Chain A
Amino acid sequence: MHEALAVPAWVGFAYLIAGVCFVLALRGLSSPESSRRGNRYGMIGMLIAVVTTLITHEIASLPEILIAILIGGSVGFVIARRIAMTAMPQLVAAFHSLVGLAAVLVAGAAYLNPIPFGIADLDGVIHLQSRIEMGLGVAIGAITFSGSVIAFLKLNGNMSGKPIMLPGRHVINLGTLALILGLIAYFLTDQSTWVFGAVTALSFLIGFLLIIPIGGADMPVVVSMLNSYSGWAAAAMGFTLHNTAMIITGALVGSSGAILSYIMCRAMNRSFISVIAGGFGAEAGGGGGAAQTDRPWKRGSAEDAAFMMKQAEQVIIVPGYGMAVAQAQHALREMADLLKKEGVTVKYAIHPVAGRMPGHMNVLLAEANVPYDEVFELEDINGEFAQTDVAFVIGANDVTNPAAKTDKTSPIYGMPVLDVEKAKTVLFVKRSMGGVGYAGVDNDVFYMDNTMMLLADAKKMVEDIVKAMAH
Protein backbone atom coordinates (compact mmCIF):
# COMPACT_ATOMS: atom_id res chain seq x y z
CA MET A 1 0.00 0.00 0.00
CA HIS A 2 2.61 2.46 -1.07
CA GLU A 3 0.81 5.71 -1.82
CA ALA A 4 3.22 6.75 -4.55
CA LEU A 5 2.35 3.61 -6.54
CA ALA A 6 -1.32 4.55 -6.65
CA VAL A 7 -0.66 7.75 -8.62
CA PRO A 8 -2.07 7.49 -12.17
CA ALA A 9 0.32 7.85 -15.10
CA TRP A 10 -1.13 11.13 -16.42
CA VAL A 11 -0.02 12.89 -13.26
CA GLY A 12 3.61 12.65 -14.27
CA PHE A 13 2.71 14.15 -17.65
CA ALA A 14 0.78 16.96 -16.00
CA TYR A 15 3.74 17.93 -13.83
CA LEU A 16 6.01 17.70 -16.86
CA ILE A 17 3.73 20.09 -18.78
CA ALA A 18 3.78 22.46 -15.82
CA GLY A 19 7.58 22.30 -15.91
CA VAL A 20 7.60 23.07 -19.66
CA CYS A 21 5.30 26.05 -19.05
CA PHE A 22 7.82 27.41 -16.57
CA VAL A 23 10.63 27.06 -19.13
CA LEU A 24 8.47 29.00 -21.61
CA ALA A 25 7.81 31.66 -18.98
CA LEU A 26 11.53 32.35 -18.70
CA ARG A 27 12.05 31.99 -22.44
CA GLY A 28 9.47 34.74 -23.01
CA LEU A 29 11.68 37.19 -21.17
CA SER A 30 14.18 37.21 -24.04
CA SER A 31 12.33 40.25 -25.38
CA PRO A 32 9.74 42.64 -23.99
CA GLU A 33 7.28 41.71 -26.78
CA SER A 34 7.11 38.04 -25.84
CA SER A 35 7.45 38.57 -22.11
CA ARG A 36 3.81 38.95 -21.21
CA ARG A 37 2.87 35.79 -23.06
CA GLY A 38 5.65 34.08 -21.14
CA ASN A 39 4.20 35.25 -17.86
CA ARG A 40 0.83 33.73 -18.84
CA TYR A 41 2.56 30.40 -19.48
CA GLY A 42 3.97 30.62 -15.99
CA MET A 43 0.49 31.12 -14.53
CA ILE A 44 -0.91 28.22 -16.57
CA GLY A 45 1.93 25.99 -15.39
CA MET A 46 1.21 26.85 -11.78
CA LEU A 47 -2.50 26.20 -12.25
CA ILE A 48 -1.79 22.79 -13.79
CA ALA A 49 0.55 21.85 -10.93
CA VAL A 50 -1.90 22.91 -8.21
CA VAL A 51 -5.00 21.35 -9.78
CA THR A 52 -3.18 18.09 -10.49
CA THR A 53 -2.09 17.83 -6.89
CA LEU A 54 -5.57 18.57 -5.59
CA ILE A 55 -7.19 15.99 -7.87
CA THR A 56 -4.80 13.15 -7.16
CA HIS A 57 -4.66 13.38 -3.41
CA GLU A 58 -7.40 12.46 -1.10
CA ILE A 59 -8.31 15.88 0.10
CA ALA A 60 -9.73 15.72 3.57
CA SER A 61 -9.70 19.46 4.03
CA LEU A 62 -10.52 21.23 0.78
CA PRO A 63 -12.27 24.23 2.41
CA GLU A 64 -9.28 24.95 4.63
CA ILE A 65 -6.93 24.73 1.66
CA LEU A 66 -9.07 27.05 -0.46
CA ILE A 67 -9.25 29.54 2.41
CA ALA A 68 -5.46 29.37 2.78
CA ILE A 69 -4.99 30.04 -0.94
CA LEU A 70 -7.53 32.85 -0.81
CA ILE A 71 -5.81 34.55 2.15
CA GLY A 72 -2.33 34.22 0.70
CA GLY A 73 -3.49 35.09 -2.80
CA SER A 74 -5.24 38.29 -1.81
CA VAL A 75 -2.35 39.43 0.37
CA GLY A 76 0.08 38.79 -2.48
CA PHE A 77 -2.15 40.45 -5.04
CA VAL A 78 -2.66 43.61 -2.99
CA ILE A 79 1.07 43.91 -2.29
CA ALA A 80 1.86 43.44 -5.96
CA ARG A 81 -0.58 46.20 -6.93
CA ARG A 82 0.55 48.71 -4.35
CA ILE A 83 4.31 48.31 -4.22
CA ALA A 84 6.36 51.22 -5.55
CA MET A 85 8.75 50.24 -8.33
CA THR A 86 11.64 51.71 -6.37
CA ALA A 87 10.89 49.21 -3.60
CA MET A 88 11.14 46.22 -5.93
CA PRO A 89 14.44 44.91 -4.45
CA GLN A 90 12.92 44.71 -0.96
CA LEU A 91 9.81 43.05 -2.33
CA VAL A 92 11.82 40.41 -4.15
CA ALA A 93 13.87 39.76 -1.01
CA ALA A 94 10.67 39.39 1.00
CA PHE A 95 9.26 36.97 -1.57
CA HIS A 96 12.46 34.91 -1.41
CA SER A 97 12.09 34.65 2.33
CA LEU A 98 8.57 33.28 1.89
CA VAL A 99 9.76 30.58 -0.52
CA GLY A 100 12.42 29.63 2.02
CA LEU A 101 10.00 29.50 4.92
CA ALA A 102 7.45 27.54 2.87
CA ALA A 103 10.19 25.00 2.05
CA VAL A 104 11.01 24.69 5.75
CA LEU A 105 7.35 24.18 6.64
CA VAL A 106 6.84 21.58 3.91
CA ALA A 107 9.96 19.73 5.01
CA GLY A 108 8.70 19.88 8.59
CA ALA A 109 5.30 18.57 7.57
CA ALA A 110 6.90 15.77 5.57
CA TYR A 111 9.12 14.89 8.52
CA LEU A 112 6.20 14.70 10.94
CA ASN A 113 3.92 12.78 8.61
CA PRO A 114 6.11 11.02 6.04
CA ILE A 115 3.78 8.22 4.93
CA PRO A 116 1.38 10.31 2.77
CA PHE A 117 4.41 11.73 0.96
CA GLY A 118 5.51 8.20 0.09
CA ILE A 119 8.91 8.66 1.67
CA ALA A 120 8.64 6.20 4.56
CA ASP A 121 7.63 2.63 5.17
CA LEU A 122 4.47 1.84 7.05
CA ASP A 123 6.16 2.08 10.44
CA GLY A 124 7.07 5.66 9.73
CA VAL A 125 10.77 4.94 9.17
CA ILE A 126 11.87 7.50 6.59
CA HIS A 127 13.86 6.19 3.59
CA LEU A 128 17.55 6.98 3.87
CA GLN A 129 17.70 8.81 0.56
CA SER A 130 14.71 10.91 1.55
CA ARG A 131 16.42 11.87 4.80
CA ILE A 132 19.33 13.44 2.93
CA GLU A 133 17.02 15.21 0.50
CA MET A 134 14.83 16.41 3.33
CA GLY A 135 17.79 17.53 5.41
CA LEU A 136 19.26 19.49 2.51
CA GLY A 137 15.84 20.89 1.64
CA VAL A 138 15.16 22.19 5.12
CA ALA A 139 18.69 23.57 5.42
CA ILE A 140 18.60 25.47 2.11
CA GLY A 141 15.08 26.66 2.85
CA ALA A 142 16.06 27.97 6.27
CA ILE A 143 19.17 29.71 4.92
CA THR A 144 17.07 31.31 2.19
CA PHE A 145 14.56 32.49 4.77
CA SER A 146 16.83 34.10 7.34
CA GLY A 147 19.24 35.42 4.69
CA SER A 148 16.39 37.04 2.78
CA VAL A 149 14.96 38.57 5.94
CA ILE A 150 18.31 40.29 6.58
CA ALA A 151 18.55 41.34 2.93
CA PHE A 152 15.02 42.74 3.16
CA LEU A 153 15.81 44.70 6.34
CA LYS A 154 18.95 46.14 4.76
CA LEU A 155 17.25 47.05 1.48
CA ASN A 156 14.22 48.47 3.25
CA GLY A 157 16.41 50.63 5.46
CA ASN A 158 15.29 48.99 8.73
CA MET A 159 18.85 47.92 9.18
CA SER A 160 22.00 49.82 8.26
CA GLY A 161 23.46 48.87 4.88
CA LYS A 162 26.87 48.87 6.48
CA PRO A 163 28.51 45.50 6.83
CA ILE A 164 28.39 44.08 10.34
CA MET A 165 31.65 42.26 10.96
CA LEU A 166 31.80 39.71 13.72
CA PRO A 167 35.27 38.76 14.90
CA GLY A 168 36.26 35.32 13.62
CA ARG A 169 33.17 35.18 11.45
CA HIS A 170 34.78 32.96 8.80
CA VAL A 171 35.57 30.35 11.43
CA ILE A 172 32.08 30.62 12.91
CA ASN A 173 30.44 30.35 9.49
CA LEU A 174 32.49 27.43 8.24
CA GLY A 175 32.09 25.67 11.58
CA THR A 176 28.32 26.09 11.49
CA LEU A 177 28.16 24.85 7.90
CA ALA A 178 30.25 21.80 8.78
CA LEU A 179 28.03 21.12 11.77
CA ILE A 180 24.90 21.30 9.58
CA LEU A 181 26.35 18.83 7.07
CA GLY A 182 27.49 16.56 9.90
CA LEU A 183 24.04 16.58 11.43
CA ILE A 184 22.44 15.78 8.06
CA ALA A 185 24.78 12.79 7.81
CA TYR A 186 23.89 11.78 11.35
CA PHE A 187 20.20 12.11 10.40
CA LEU A 188 20.76 8.94 8.34
CA THR A 189 21.26 6.88 11.44
CA ASP A 190 18.86 8.66 13.75
CA GLN A 191 15.65 10.30 12.63
CA SER A 192 14.91 11.86 16.03
CA THR A 193 13.26 15.23 16.20
CA TRP A 194 16.26 16.91 17.79
CA VAL A 195 18.43 16.19 14.75
CA PHE A 196 15.89 17.65 12.36
CA GLY A 197 15.31 20.58 14.69
CA ALA A 198 19.01 21.26 15.09
CA VAL A 199 19.59 21.25 11.33
CA THR A 200 16.75 23.72 10.93
CA ALA A 201 17.86 26.01 13.76
CA LEU A 202 21.52 26.07 12.69
CA SER A 203 20.49 26.79 9.10
CA PHE A 204 18.42 29.76 10.21
CA LEU A 205 21.47 30.96 12.11
CA ILE A 206 23.92 30.57 9.23
CA GLY A 207 21.60 32.38 6.80
CA PHE A 208 21.62 35.30 9.19
CA LEU A 209 25.39 35.19 9.73
CA LEU A 210 26.10 34.96 5.99
CA ILE A 211 24.24 38.12 5.04
CA ILE A 212 25.00 40.55 7.89
CA PRO A 213 28.63 41.20 6.82
CA ILE A 214 27.61 42.06 3.25
CA GLY A 215 27.42 45.77 2.47
CA GLY A 216 24.79 47.74 0.56
CA ALA A 217 26.74 47.92 -2.70
CA ASP A 218 26.87 44.14 -2.93
CA MET A 219 23.11 43.77 -2.54
CA PRO A 220 22.51 43.01 -6.24
CA VAL A 221 24.65 39.91 -5.81
CA VAL A 222 22.97 38.95 -2.55
CA VAL A 223 19.47 39.27 -3.97
CA SER A 224 20.46 37.16 -6.98
CA MET A 225 22.16 34.60 -4.78
CA LEU A 226 19.11 34.23 -2.54
CA ASN A 227 17.01 33.88 -5.68
CA SER A 228 19.24 30.97 -6.59
CA TYR A 229 18.95 29.43 -3.11
CA SER A 230 15.17 29.61 -3.21
CA GLY A 231 15.37 27.58 -6.42
CA TRP A 232 17.68 24.95 -4.95
CA ALA A 233 15.36 24.70 -1.94
CA ALA A 234 12.43 23.98 -4.26
CA ALA A 235 14.54 21.44 -6.17
CA ALA A 236 15.57 19.66 -2.97
CA MET A 237 11.92 19.41 -1.94
CA GLY A 238 11.16 18.14 -5.44
CA PHE A 239 13.69 15.35 -4.90
CA THR A 240 12.13 14.55 -1.53
CA LEU A 241 8.61 14.43 -2.92
CA HIS A 242 9.59 12.93 -6.31
CA ASN A 243 7.85 15.75 -8.10
CA THR A 244 9.08 16.67 -11.60
CA ALA A 245 7.45 20.11 -11.67
CA MET A 246 9.31 21.09 -8.52
CA ILE A 247 12.61 19.68 -9.73
CA ILE A 248 12.42 21.40 -13.13
CA THR A 249 11.37 24.68 -11.58
CA GLY A 250 13.98 24.46 -8.86
CA ALA A 251 16.71 23.84 -11.42
CA LEU A 252 15.51 26.75 -13.58
CA VAL A 253 15.31 29.19 -10.70
CA GLY A 254 18.55 27.93 -9.22
CA SER A 255 20.45 28.46 -12.47
CA SER A 256 18.74 31.77 -13.08
CA GLY A 257 19.85 33.16 -9.73
CA ALA A 258 23.34 31.74 -10.17
CA ILE A 259 23.72 33.37 -13.60
CA LEU A 260 22.45 36.71 -12.31
CA SER A 261 24.91 36.53 -9.41
CA TYR A 262 27.68 35.82 -11.90
CA ILE A 263 26.64 38.74 -14.14
CA MET A 264 26.56 41.08 -11.14
CA CYS A 265 29.96 39.92 -9.87
CA ARG A 266 31.47 40.34 -13.33
CA ALA A 267 30.00 43.83 -13.58
CA MET A 268 31.77 44.76 -10.36
CA ASN A 269 34.93 42.78 -11.17
CA ARG A 270 34.58 40.98 -7.85
CA SER A 271 34.82 37.29 -7.24
CA PHE A 272 31.77 35.58 -5.84
CA ILE A 273 33.85 34.42 -2.87
CA SER A 274 34.90 37.96 -2.00
CA VAL A 275 31.27 39.11 -2.06
CA ILE A 276 30.21 36.26 0.19
CA ALA A 277 33.11 36.93 2.53
CA GLY A 278 31.59 40.37 2.92
CA GLY A 279 32.94 43.59 4.32
CA PHE A 280 33.16 45.55 1.05
CA GLY A 281 32.41 49.23 1.51
CA ALA A 282 32.93 49.04 5.27
CA GLU A 283 34.91 52.29 5.21
CA ALA A 284 32.67 53.99 2.67
CA GLY A 285 29.69 54.57 4.89
CA GLY A 286 31.50 57.07 7.11
CA GLY A 287 30.23 60.15 5.25
CA GLY A 288 33.11 60.45 2.81
CA GLY A 289 35.58 62.63 4.68
CA ALA A 290 38.15 61.00 2.44
CA ALA A 291 37.09 62.79 -0.73
CA GLN A 292 39.66 65.30 -1.87
CA THR A 293 37.43 68.30 -2.34
CA ASP A 294 40.39 70.67 -2.44
CA ARG A 295 40.83 69.90 -6.13
CA PRO A 296 39.27 72.51 -8.42
CA TRP A 297 35.92 71.73 -9.94
CA LYS A 298 33.19 73.64 -11.73
CA ARG A 299 29.70 74.13 -10.51
CA GLY A 300 26.83 74.66 -12.94
CA SER A 301 23.26 75.77 -12.60
CA ALA A 302 20.07 74.24 -13.94
CA GLU A 303 19.96 77.01 -16.58
CA ASP A 304 23.50 76.18 -17.78
CA ALA A 305 22.58 72.52 -18.01
CA ALA A 306 19.36 73.25 -19.88
CA PHE A 307 21.21 75.46 -22.36
CA MET A 308 23.98 72.95 -23.03
CA MET A 309 21.65 70.05 -23.54
CA LYS A 310 19.37 72.01 -25.87
CA GLN A 311 22.40 72.82 -28.06
CA ALA A 312 23.49 69.19 -28.14
CA GLU A 313 22.93 66.70 -30.92
CA GLN A 314 23.03 63.70 -28.64
CA VAL A 315 22.58 63.39 -24.88
CA ILE A 316 23.24 60.14 -23.03
CA ILE A 317 21.63 59.88 -19.60
CA VAL A 318 23.42 57.68 -17.06
CA PRO A 319 21.07 56.88 -14.17
CA GLY A 320 22.11 55.21 -10.93
CA TYR A 321 20.71 54.29 -7.57
CA GLY A 322 20.59 57.96 -6.53
CA MET A 323 17.95 58.55 -9.20
CA ALA A 324 15.83 55.82 -7.66
CA VAL A 325 16.24 57.21 -4.16
CA ALA A 326 15.25 60.69 -5.31
CA GLN A 327 12.36 59.26 -7.40
CA ALA A 328 13.61 61.41 -10.26
CA GLN A 329 12.69 59.06 -13.11
CA HIS A 330 9.46 60.85 -14.08
CA ALA A 331 11.05 64.30 -14.10
CA LEU A 332 13.92 62.82 -16.10
CA ARG A 333 11.60 61.52 -18.77
CA GLU A 334 9.93 64.96 -18.97
CA MET A 335 13.35 66.47 -19.53
CA ALA A 336 14.08 63.91 -22.25
CA ASP A 337 10.75 64.70 -23.94
CA LEU A 338 11.59 68.41 -24.07
CA LEU A 339 15.02 67.62 -25.50
CA LYS A 340 13.51 65.39 -28.16
CA LYS A 341 11.19 68.23 -29.13
CA GLU A 342 14.30 70.33 -29.73
CA GLY A 343 15.59 67.62 -32.03
CA VAL A 344 18.14 66.21 -29.61
CA THR A 345 18.73 62.45 -29.65
CA VAL A 346 18.34 61.08 -26.12
CA LYS A 347 19.65 57.70 -25.03
CA TYR A 348 20.00 56.02 -21.67
CA ALA A 349 23.04 54.00 -20.60
CA ILE A 350 22.58 51.40 -17.89
CA HIS A 351 25.40 49.80 -15.98
CA PRO A 352 24.55 46.23 -14.89
CA VAL A 353 24.96 47.05 -11.20
CA ALA A 354 23.16 50.39 -11.26
CA GLY A 355 20.48 50.12 -8.60
CA ARG A 356 19.95 47.50 -5.95
CA MET A 357 19.03 44.52 -8.10
CA PRO A 358 19.65 43.35 -11.66
CA GLY A 359 17.57 45.37 -14.13
CA HIS A 360 16.32 47.78 -11.46
CA MET A 361 17.00 50.92 -13.53
CA ASN A 362 15.26 49.49 -16.57
CA VAL A 363 12.08 48.93 -14.61
CA LEU A 364 12.16 52.42 -13.14
CA LEU A 365 12.65 53.98 -16.58
CA ALA A 366 9.91 51.79 -18.02
CA GLU A 367 7.65 52.95 -15.20
CA ALA A 368 8.32 56.55 -16.24
CA ASN A 369 7.29 55.61 -19.80
CA VAL A 370 10.77 55.71 -21.24
CA PRO A 371 10.60 53.53 -24.36
CA TYR A 372 12.83 50.49 -23.86
CA ASP A 373 14.48 50.92 -27.25
CA GLU A 374 16.10 54.14 -25.99
CA VAL A 375 17.71 52.26 -23.11
CA PHE A 376 21.06 50.60 -23.76
CA GLU A 377 23.35 48.24 -21.89
CA LEU A 378 26.93 49.18 -21.12
CA GLU A 379 28.63 47.26 -23.93
CA ASP A 380 26.15 48.48 -26.54
CA ILE A 381 26.55 52.17 -25.83
CA ASN A 382 30.04 52.63 -24.43
CA GLY A 383 31.52 53.33 -27.87
CA GLU A 384 29.09 56.21 -28.39
CA PHE A 385 30.24 58.53 -25.61
CA ALA A 386 33.08 59.82 -27.78
CA GLN A 387 30.53 61.12 -30.32
CA THR A 388 28.18 62.45 -27.68
CA ASP A 389 27.83 66.11 -26.75
CA VAL A 390 26.49 65.70 -23.23
CA ALA A 391 26.67 62.80 -20.78
CA PHE A 392 24.10 63.46 -18.05
CA VAL A 393 25.04 61.42 -14.97
CA ILE A 394 22.34 61.29 -12.34
CA GLY A 395 22.68 59.34 -9.12
CA ALA A 396 25.52 57.18 -10.42
CA ASN A 397 29.15 57.48 -9.37
CA ASP A 398 31.42 54.44 -9.17
CA VAL A 399 30.13 53.07 -12.47
CA THR A 400 31.51 56.15 -14.26
CA ASN A 401 34.89 56.27 -12.50
CA PRO A 402 37.77 56.14 -14.99
CA ALA A 403 40.06 54.99 -12.16
CA ALA A 404 38.61 51.54 -12.78
CA LYS A 405 40.45 51.57 -16.12
CA THR A 406 43.70 53.29 -15.17
CA ASP A 407 44.48 53.13 -11.46
CA LYS A 408 45.69 49.69 -10.44
CA THR A 409 45.55 50.63 -6.77
CA SER A 410 41.89 51.58 -6.88
CA PRO A 411 39.51 49.17 -5.13
CA ILE A 412 37.32 49.23 -8.22
CA TYR A 413 40.17 48.62 -10.70
CA GLY A 414 39.06 46.30 -13.49
CA MET A 415 35.38 46.96 -13.08
CA PRO A 416 33.75 47.74 -16.44
CA VAL A 417 32.67 51.40 -16.38
CA LEU A 418 30.74 53.77 -18.61
CA ASP A 419 33.15 56.03 -20.51
CA VAL A 420 31.31 59.26 -19.67
CA GLU A 421 34.57 61.25 -19.60
CA LYS A 422 34.83 60.83 -23.38
CA ALA A 423 31.73 62.94 -23.96
CA LYS A 424 32.30 66.59 -24.91
CA THR A 425 30.61 67.72 -21.71
CA VAL A 426 29.72 65.79 -18.58
CA LEU A 427 26.88 67.04 -16.42
CA PHE A 428 27.12 65.32 -13.07
CA VAL A 429 24.10 65.54 -10.78
CA LYS A 430 25.15 64.90 -7.20
CA ARG A 431 23.86 65.85 -3.81
CA SER A 432 27.12 67.37 -2.58
CA MET A 433 30.85 67.25 -3.28
CA GLY A 434 31.52 65.60 0.06
CA GLY A 435 30.10 62.16 -0.49
CA VAL A 436 31.85 59.40 -2.36
CA GLY A 437 30.39 56.29 -3.96
CA TYR A 438 29.91 52.98 -2.23
CA ALA A 439 33.42 51.91 -3.02
CA GLY A 440 34.71 54.92 -1.07
CA VAL A 441 36.86 56.22 -3.92
CA ASP A 442 37.11 59.68 -5.39
CA ASN A 443 36.00 60.12 -9.00
CA ASP A 444 38.31 62.03 -11.38
CA VAL A 445 35.37 62.91 -13.58
CA PHE A 446 34.33 65.55 -11.01
CA TYR A 447 37.50 67.57 -11.63
CA MET A 448 37.76 67.43 -15.40
CA ASP A 449 37.65 70.62 -17.46
CA ASN A 450 34.64 69.41 -19.39
CA THR A 451 32.65 68.45 -16.30
CA MET A 452 30.05 70.62 -14.71
CA MET A 453 28.80 69.56 -11.29
CA LEU A 454 25.09 70.08 -10.64
CA LEU A 455 24.86 69.90 -6.88
CA ALA A 456 21.30 69.34 -5.66
CA ASP A 457 18.74 66.69 -4.96
CA ALA A 458 18.44 64.73 -8.21
CA LYS A 459 14.71 65.24 -8.59
CA LYS A 460 14.80 68.93 -7.78
CA MET A 461 17.68 69.53 -10.18
CA VAL A 462 15.93 67.78 -13.05
CA GLU A 463 12.72 69.69 -12.35
CA ASP A 464 14.66 72.96 -12.41
CA ILE A 465 16.27 71.99 -15.71
CA VAL A 466 12.83 71.22 -17.13
CA LYS A 467 11.63 74.66 -16.00
CA ALA A 468 14.68 76.32 -17.50
CA MET A 469 14.15 74.50 -20.79
CA ALA A 470 10.51 75.49 -21.00
CA HIS A 471 11.36 79.11 -21.73
Chain B
Amino acid sequence: MDFVSILSIFVMACFVGYYVVWSVTPALHTPLMAVTNAISSVIIVGALVASAAAGSATSKWLGLAAVVLASINIFGGFAVTERMLAMYKKKDRKA
Protein backbone atom coordinates (compact mmCIF):
# COMPACT_ATOMS: atom_id res chain seq x y z
CA MET B 1 0.00 0.00 0.00
CA ASP B 2 1.36 3.41 -0.83
CA PHE B 3 1.76 6.13 1.73
CA VAL B 4 -1.12 8.26 0.48
CA SER B 5 -3.72 5.50 0.83
CA ILE B 6 -2.46 4.69 4.32
CA LEU B 7 -2.56 8.34 5.25
CA SER B 8 -6.11 8.61 3.87
CA ILE B 9 -7.23 5.72 6.04
CA PHE B 10 -5.59 7.37 9.02
CA VAL B 11 -7.17 10.78 8.46
CA MET B 12 -10.62 9.28 7.83
CA ALA B 13 -10.28 7.16 10.97
CA CYS B 14 -9.42 10.27 12.98
CA PHE B 15 -12.67 11.86 11.82
CA VAL B 16 -14.65 8.72 12.60
CA GLY B 17 -12.99 8.65 16.02
CA TYR B 18 -13.82 12.29 16.61
CA TYR B 19 -17.54 11.86 15.96
CA VAL B 20 -17.89 8.48 17.62
CA VAL B 21 -16.14 9.60 20.79
CA TRP B 22 -18.23 12.75 21.13
CA SER B 23 -21.30 10.54 21.10
CA VAL B 24 -20.02 8.52 24.06
CA THR B 25 -22.04 9.38 27.16
CA PRO B 26 -19.87 10.99 29.88
CA ALA B 27 -21.09 8.36 32.34
CA LEU B 28 -19.12 5.79 30.34
CA HIS B 29 -15.86 7.70 30.00
CA THR B 30 -14.00 5.35 32.33
CA PRO B 31 -15.06 2.22 30.39
CA LEU B 32 -14.15 4.16 27.24
CA MET B 33 -10.60 4.56 28.47
CA ALA B 34 -10.41 0.91 29.48
CA VAL B 35 -11.68 -0.34 26.14
CA THR B 36 -9.48 2.01 24.09
CA ASN B 37 -6.63 0.60 26.11
CA ALA B 38 -7.60 -2.90 25.12
CA ILE B 39 -8.00 -2.11 21.43
CA SER B 40 -4.80 -0.10 21.15
CA SER B 41 -3.09 -3.35 22.06
CA VAL B 42 -3.85 -4.40 18.48
CA ILE B 43 -0.17 -3.54 18.36
CA ILE B 44 0.12 -7.24 19.23
CA VAL B 45 -0.09 -7.77 15.46
CA GLY B 46 3.37 -6.26 15.10
CA ALA B 47 4.61 -8.25 18.06
CA LEU B 48 3.35 -11.48 16.47
CA VAL B 49 5.13 -10.73 13.21
CA ALA B 50 8.33 -10.12 15.14
CA SER B 51 8.08 -13.28 17.19
CA ALA B 52 7.12 -15.38 14.20
CA ALA B 53 9.94 -14.24 11.95
CA ALA B 54 13.17 -16.11 11.63
CA GLY B 55 16.44 -14.29 11.31
CA SER B 56 17.11 -12.49 14.56
CA ALA B 57 16.89 -14.13 17.97
CA THR B 58 16.88 -10.79 19.80
CA SER B 59 14.10 -9.51 17.60
CA LYS B 60 12.10 -12.65 18.31
CA TRP B 61 12.47 -12.29 22.07
CA LEU B 62 11.52 -8.61 21.91
CA GLY B 63 8.47 -9.67 19.94
CA LEU B 64 7.52 -12.35 22.47
CA ALA B 65 7.91 -9.90 25.33
CA ALA B 66 5.66 -7.47 23.47
CA VAL B 67 3.11 -10.29 22.94
CA VAL B 68 3.02 -10.85 26.71
CA LEU B 69 2.55 -7.13 27.47
CA ALA B 70 -0.10 -6.66 24.79
CA SER B 71 -1.96 -9.77 25.98
CA ILE B 72 -2.10 -8.43 29.54
CA ASN B 73 -3.70 -5.35 28.10
CA ILE B 74 -6.08 -7.08 25.74
CA PHE B 75 -7.45 -9.57 28.26
CA GLY B 76 -7.23 -7.16 31.17
CA GLY B 77 -8.74 -4.27 29.23
CA PHE B 78 -11.70 -6.14 27.80
CA ALA B 79 -12.37 -8.01 31.05
CA VAL B 80 -12.33 -4.90 33.21
CA THR B 81 -14.54 -3.05 30.71
CA GLU B 82 -17.00 -5.93 30.75
CA ARG B 83 -16.95 -5.91 34.54
CA MET B 84 -17.64 -2.18 34.69
CA LEU B 85 -20.37 -2.23 32.06
CA ALA B 86 -22.15 -5.04 33.89
CA MET B 87 -22.54 -2.69 36.87
CA TYR B 88 -24.50 -0.02 35.00
CA LYS B 89 -28.13 -0.76 35.74
CA LYS B 90 -31.36 1.11 35.25
CA LYS B 91 -33.69 1.93 38.06
CA ASP B 92 -35.48 -1.08 39.52
CA ARG B 93 -39.14 -0.82 38.64
CA LYS B 94 -40.14 -3.28 41.37
CA ALA B 95 -41.40 -0.81 43.97
Chain B hits for A99, CB < 8 A: 37, 40-41, 43, 69-70, 73
Closest chain-A Cβ to B89's Cβ sits at a distance in Å of 6
Chain A hits for B35, CB < 8 A: 25-26, 29, 38-39, 42
Given contacts A247-B6, A260-B32, contact A43 B78 (CB under 8 A): yes
A180 at the interface (CB under 8 A from B): no
Q: Which 3 A-B pairs have the closest CB atoms?
A: A72-B71, A76-B76, A359-B29
Closest chain-A Cβ to B81's Cβ sits at a distance in Å of 5
Contact B67 A113 (CB under 8 A): no
Interface residues of A (CB under 8 A from B): 12, 18-19, 22-23, 25-27, 29-32, 35-36, 38-39, 42-43, 45-46, 49-50, 53-54, 57-61, 64-65, 68-77, 79-81, 83, 85, 88, 91-92, 95-96, 98-99, 101-103, 105-106, 108-110, 112-113, 115-117, 129, 223-224, 227, 230-231, 233-235, 237-257, 259-260, 263, 350, 352, 357-360, 362-363, 366-367, 369, 371-375, 377
> Which of B14, B42, B67, B74 sits near A246, CB closer than 8 Å?
B42
Contact B73 A243 (CB under 8 A): no
Instruction: Provide the bound-state CA to CA distance between A80 and B22, in Å.
Output: 26
Chain A residue with Cβ nearest B26: A377
Instruction: Provide the bound-state CA to CA distance between A255 and B59, in Å.
Output: 31
Interface centre among B13, B40, B72, B83 (most CB of A within 10 A): B40
Instruction: Provide the bound-state CA to CA distance between A358 and B73, in Å.
Output: 19
Contact B53 A85 (CB under 8 A): no
Number of B residues with CB within 8 Å of any CB on chain A: 82
Contact B42 A108 (CB under 8 A): no
Instruction: Provide the bound-state CA to CA distance between A31 and B88, in Å.
Output: 10
Chain A hits for B40, CB < 8 A: 99, 230-231, 233-234, 249-250, 253
Chain B hits for A350, CB < 8 A: 26-27
Contact A36 B25 (CB under 8 A): no
Interface centre among B34, B54, B55 (most CB of A within 10 A): B34
Instruction: Provide the bound-state CA to CA distance between A45 and B25, in Å.
Output: 22
